[in-house]
Amino acid sequence: MLRRTSFLCLPLAFCASVSAAQQQPPTQTSVIHAGKLLDVDSGRLLPNQMILIRGGKIEAVGEHLAIPPGAPLIDLSKFTVLPGLIDCHTHLADLSDSEPLHVLQKTSAEIAYAVIPNARVTLLAGFTTVRDVGTYRAFNDVALRDAIARGDVIGPRMFVAGAYITISEGAGAMTGLAPDIQLPWDLHYGEANSPWEVRQKVRELAHRGADHIKILSTGAVLTHGSNPKSIEFTPEELQAAVDEARNFGLRVAAHAHAAEGIKNAIRAGVASIEHATLIDDEGIALAKEHGTYLDMDIYDEECIQDSGKQSQTPADFLEHDRGLGEIQRRNFTKAVRAGVKMSFGTDAGVCPHGINARQFAFMVKYGMTPLQAIQSATRNAADLIGKSDVLGSLQPGEYADIIAVSGNPLEGIRLLENVKFVMKEGKIYKQEQ
């Protein structure tokens, strides 16, 4: 029998049924009965499907599967089932604060504990995997990833950067301080100012457990003393990052707002451009030619502006941001129409964690079909991360990362903002009738 969960949990409290699920080991074998199953590869909505799960992975999918003796049947016959969602641009391991300098008011240990709820609400919102792309305190993300993997805390599967690679006083640096203040090592770990220094940082990050490399090609909106239209790393430095990362089997994500910084990063061979705010026609053509993903956070402008109205966002950040949101959305539309590879990335942390799915409606508003938007957060995202063999669809051999919604998300994309069921690797974390 399925346990009914009202799921009105506060951020720091668990519903009883969810808590119980977290404390129990995952059932080795179970079967889901899906009223409808969205095949994200074909776009077809398949009725009356069974999903056999064994050892945390999908073993079989079909309409007439035999239920193994003793295997529990999870009745989702009233729901539409689809793969767990993937957000390719999050900051789970950092404080969700519009003022980066507030990081200095807490120890690394305090921040590590404070960000635990970020992981929980993200998973319960249906995002079973995230690509976390940088934290001010180096390696807090590695620690959170590993704590989740051990089962110490709940959260999505994390692929992490370890630290930002940035120029001194650059977009990923802790800026805005008096020049005589010396930062602790973990708050300026990734600073590099030549191709060889970039290579050194990539080597160190690879050694210390990074899953990918995050480099800042241009200035930033949410950094003191920065200019999102400025070029920071040179083409040679970007090339060094990509080449060195490749030596360790890692991919590079490049933060880039300015058009020339975007093109420099694409030519260097990065896997994705984060934000891509001011991308021009040549940049769009280059991205398509190189197969570079654009990971465009077109919803978080809402949060930046709302925070500004409440006087929570520093004035210089609002000045940096002026006019960029609408430009980015227009460029998103152009990139979609051009057929550029697009992945789902929200910059979660700018907006509160757990509302990642609100971006889907904006992606549809600015040119994607509902299926394209869902694919950006499933099969495309898995491809960008390099894990298409185990993530991104509901095929045998992949992780049993499964969510369910009431109704058809191809007809109402905002249904994804209210996920009713969440399973990660065969373990149920949320279940509503």
* Residue 135 CB neighbour total at 10 angstroms: 31
* Tens digit of pLDDT at every position of the chain (433 positions): 333 333 334 343 334 344 444 444 545 899 999 999 999 999 999 999 999 999 999 999 999 898 899 999 999 999 999 999 999 999 999 887 767 778 888 898 999 999 999 999 999 999 999 999 999 999 999 999 999 999 999 999 999 999 999 999 888 888 888 888 888 888 899 999 999 999 999 999 999 999 999 999 998 877 777 788 899 999 999 999 999 999 999 999 999 999 999 999 999 999 999 999 999 999 999 999 999 999 999 998 888 777 666 667 777 777 767 778 899 999 999 999 999 999 999 999 999 999 999 999 999 999 999 999 999 999 999 999 999 999 999 999 999 999 999 999 999 999 999 999 999 999 999 999 7
* Whole-number pLDDT of residue 220: 80
* Whole-number pLDDT of residue 103: 83
Q: Which two tokens stand for residue 356?
A: 């990642």
How far apart CA 84 and CA 24 sit, in angstroms, is 21
How far apart CA 416 and CA 86 sit, in angstroms, is 12
Domain boundaries 16-84+392-431, corresponding CATH code = 2.30.40.10
Whole-angstrom CA distances from 169 to 61, 193, 219, 227, 265 are 52, 11, 10, 11, 20
Helix/strand/coil for 264:
helix
* Whole-number pLDDT of residue 308: 63
How far apart CA 246 and CA 395 sit, in angstroms, is 29
Helix/strand/coil for 298:
coil
Per domain, the residue ranges of the chain are 16-84+392-431, 85-385
* Whole-number pLDDT of residue 305: 76
Identity of the amino acid at 137: R
Determine the straight-line distance between the first and last CA of the chain, rounded to whole angstroms: 11
* Whole-number pLDDT of residue 310: 67
- Topology given in CATH for the domain delimited by 85-385: TIM Barrel (3.20.20)
* Residue 425 CB neighbour total at 10 angstroms: 17
* Whole-number pLDDT of residue 9: 41
